[in-house]
């Protein structure tokens, strides 16, 4: 009896995939050999759980499905975790670079949506970001754009991470400097 429930649980787990994947681009590549050219395919895939984890991978094979499978496997092995504010946007603005590709990512208010171009949009959707404004500058190569986006996302830090690094409380980090000024002015007696 217990064995049947284990099988059923395993089957349910297999039917509901943990990660979503997005095919960004497929290239037909060729290798010149003595007898002519041999054609193959290169695939770029972005994988994520839409809850703050994302990764990308590339794969090459003679057939398209095999190239996509290889890219997906590599993407699952190279996943990173990105802290999200309110589970929908970035904590702060940032830049990412790779080669000649540069991307700028900015936080956005609720309801803005994903304002970004092709490869960057795939990364944000797989990450689970709902509101972001992004711009790519320089190289439009999808490989460079995805790598630059991932590079920028690795620089993302939440207030909790900053507080831990500085040995302070989260409330101290989030408090506005202007909020302290009137309180300190009232406490200090006038020197005259």
Tens digits of residue pLDDT in 153-164:
999 888 888 888
Q: How far is 147 from 159, CA to CA, in rounded Å?
A: 25
The bridge status of strand 94-98 relative to strand 20-33 is unpaired
Give the residue numbers spanning the domain of 61: 2-159
In a domain, 31, yes or no: yes
In a domain, 114, yes or no: yes
In a domain, 164, yes or no: no
Number of domains, the chain: 1
In a domain, 13, yes or no: yes
CATH code for position 127:
3.30.230.10
Mean pLDDT of 52-74: 94
pTM of full prediction above 0.85: no
Host H or E run for residue 114: strand 114-115
3-state secondary structure of 141: coil
In a domain, 170, yes or no: no
In a domain, 187, yes or no: no
CA atoms lying within 13 Å on the CB side of residue 80: 19
Q: What percent of the chain has pLDDT over 90?
A: 60
Mean pLDDT of 76-101: 91
Mean pLDDT of 30-52: 93
């Amino acid at each position: 009896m217990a064995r049947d429930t284990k099988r059923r649980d395993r089957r349910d787990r297999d039917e509901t995939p943990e990660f979503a994947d997005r095919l960004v681009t497929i290239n037909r590549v060729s290798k010149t050999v003595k007898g002519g050219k041999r054609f193959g395919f290169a695939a770029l895939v972005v994988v994520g759980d839409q809850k703050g984890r994302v990764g990308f991978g590339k794969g090459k094979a003679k057939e398209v499905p095999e190239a996509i499978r290889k890219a997906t496997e590599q993407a699952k092995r190279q996943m990173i975790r990105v802290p999200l504010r309110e589970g929908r946007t970035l904590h702060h603005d940032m830049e990412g670079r790779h080669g000649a590709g540069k991307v700028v990512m900015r936080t956005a208010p609720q309801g803005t949506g994903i304002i970004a171009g092709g490869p960057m949009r795939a990364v944000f959707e797989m990450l689970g970001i709902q509101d972001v404004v992004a711009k790519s500058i320089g190289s439009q190569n999808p490989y460079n754009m995805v790598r630059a986006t991932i590079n920028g996302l690795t620089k993302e830090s939440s207030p909790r991470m900053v507080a831990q690094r500085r040995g302070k409380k989260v409330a101290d980090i989030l408090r506005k400097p202007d909020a302290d000024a009137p309180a300190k002015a009232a406490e200090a007696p006038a020197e005259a």
